[in-house]
Amino acid sequence: MRWSPLARSECRKVVTSKGTWILTVFIVLWGFRPTYAGWDAVGRNLTVGYVQIGVSLFLPVGALLLSYQSLIGERTTGSLKFLLGLPLTRTQVLWAKVTGRTLGIGAAIVVATFVLAVIGLLNHGMFDMLPFVGTLLATLVFVSVLVAIGICISTVTHRTVTAATTIFGYVLVTLFWSQIVTTIYTAVTGVPVDPYDAPASGPLFLALRLTPDGAYNVLTNWFLGVGNSTELFHIVYTKLAPGVSVNAFVVEAAFGGPGPWYLHPVGSILVLLVWLAVPLGLARRVFTRGDAI
C-alpha cells in the first residue's frame, strides 16, 4: 500500500513519544487495584478488571492528547506541505494517520495489558483467556475510536487552541454524561432519576451507553460476566449484591432481568463502530474539500 510508509512514520512518532509511555505507566499503576469487591466479583479474572480500570480513566484523555495535533500541528508548522506533496490522496493521508497512530497507541496499550496480566498472574494465578482476549480486542477498538475522534477534531478545527478546547469539552461531556442524560431525561419525561433506584427505562439506559467510554465498559463487563452497565465491573457487582445500595445504573437491577433487546451488550460494538465511522467520515469530508493548508 502506497500510504503504509506514512502510517509507519506516524506509528514511529507515537511509539517514540514520551507521552505514550507515560500513558502506559499510568494505566498500569492506576489499573492495578486489588480489592475484595473486585475479587468477589470476578475472582482470578480480577487481572482482566485491572485493564478495564486503568483504560477507563486514562486512555480517553491520553489517546486524544496523542492524536489531536496530528493534522492541525502539521498545518501550523508547515510540514503538511510535504505530506500533501507525496503521491497520496488526501483520504490516504488521513487514513495513514489514523492507522499509524492507532497502531502506535495500540502497541503501548498491549504492553500495559501484558504488564498487568503478568502482575495479576503472579498475584492471583491464571485468569480466563476469553475475557482477557475480548477485553484486549475491545480496548484496541476503543483506541481506534479515540484516535478517529482526535484526528477528526484536528482536521475540522483551524487553530490548535480550538482543538485543545474541543478535546477538553469532549472529556468533560463524557465525564458527566450520566448527569447530562438524567437531567435531560427528567426534563423531558418529568420523571426524577434516582441512581440508587433507577427507573426501568430502556431509552434512559440506552442513552447512558452511547458514549465510547460507556460502550467500552458495557462490553468489557459483558466479557467479565458481572452485569450490564456502563460502570466499572466491581461497582456493577456491588450494585447487584443483595442488601447493598449503590448509585449506579445497572440494567439487571433496574429491570429485574436482562431488559429490552436493544440494551444487549453486543449493541455496544455497534456504538463503538459508529463512533469510529462518523468522525472518520466527517474528517474525510472536511479534509478532501476545499483548501488543505
Partner 1 sequence: MTDVDTAINVDGLTKQYGDVRVVESLNLTVKQGETYGFLGPNGAGKSTTIGLLLDYLRPTSGTMRVLGRDPRTEVVEVHERVGILPDRYGLYTDRSARQHVALVVETKGGSDDPKALLERVGLGDAVDQNAGTFSAGMEQRLALAMALVGEPELLILDEPFSGLDPHGVRLVREIVAEEAERGAAIFFSSHVLGQVELVCDRIGILHNGRLVAEGTLRELRDGAEVVADATMEDIFVELTDARVDEGGDKR
Cell numbers linked to 76: 501550523
For partner 1, the closer of residues 9 and 165 by Cβ is 9
For partner 1, the closer of residues 160 and 201 by Cβ is 160
CA distances to 118, 200, 229, 266 from 50, in Å: 11, 30, 17, 22
Provide, rounded to whole angstroms, the least separation between the CB of residue 92 and partner 1.
Answer: 8
Helices marked H in 125-176 — which ranges? 129-156, 160-175
Q: Which residues pair with 250 in a beta bridge?
A: 229
Which residues have CB under 8 Å from 126's CB, separation 6+? 44
For partner 1, the closer of residues 89 and 165 by Cβ is 89
Contact between 16 and partner 1 (CB under 8 A)?
yes
Q: How many residues bind partner 1 (CB under 8 A)?
A: 25
3-class SS of residue 250: strand
For partner 1, the closer of residues 78 and 242 by Cβ is 78
Sign of the Cα torsion 97, 102, 103, 105 reads positive
CA-based nearest residue to 129, from 113, 143, 111:
113
Provide, rounded to whole angstroms, the least separation between the CB of residue 110 and partner 1.
Answer: 23
For partner 1, the closer of residues 78 and 256 by Cβ is 78
Q: Which of 15, 57, 86, 180 binds partner 1 (CB under 8 A)?
A: 86
Helices marked H in 71-128 — which ranges? 72-77, 80-85, 90-124
For partner 1, the closer of residues 1 and 241 by Cβ is 1
Instruction: Using the rule CB under 8 A, give the single segment among 3-11, 55-63, 180-188, 273-281 that binds partner 1.
Output: 3-11
For partner 1, the closer of residues 9 and 35 by Cβ is 9
For partner 1, the closer of residues 15 and 269 by Cβ is 15
Q: Which residues pair with 229 in a beta bridge?
A: 250
Provide, rounded to whole angstroms, the least separation between the CB of residue 6 and partner 1.
Answer: 6
Q: Which of residues 254-293 bind partner 1 (CB under 8 A)?
A: 289-293
Tell me if 227 sits within 8 A of 221, measured CB to CB. Answer: yes
Contact between 5 and partner 1 (CB under 8 A)?
yes
Provide, rounded to whole angstroms, the least separation between the CB of residue 293 and partner 1.
Answer: 5
Contact between 19 and partner 1 (CB under 8 A)?
no
CA distances to 59, 150, 171, 287 from 166, in Å: 17, 9, 9, 18
Provide, rounded to whole angstroms, the least separation between the CB of residue 2 and partner 1.
Answer: 6
Please, what is the end-to-end C-alpha distance for the chain in angstroms? Answer: 25
**Residues 287, 292, 293, CA angle at the centre, nearest 5°?**
145
d(CA 177, CA 179): 5
Q: Which of 44, 50, 82, 258 binds partner 1 (CB under 8 A)?
A: 82
**Residues 3, 83, 151, CA angle at the centre, nearest 5°?**
75
Q: Which of 89, 123, 165, 179 binds partner 1 (CB under 8 A)?
A: 89
Contact between 9 and partner 1 (CB under 8 A)?
yes
Binding positions for partner 1, rule: CB under 8 A: 2-3, 5-6, 9, 13, 16, 74, 77-79, 81-82, 84-90, 289-293
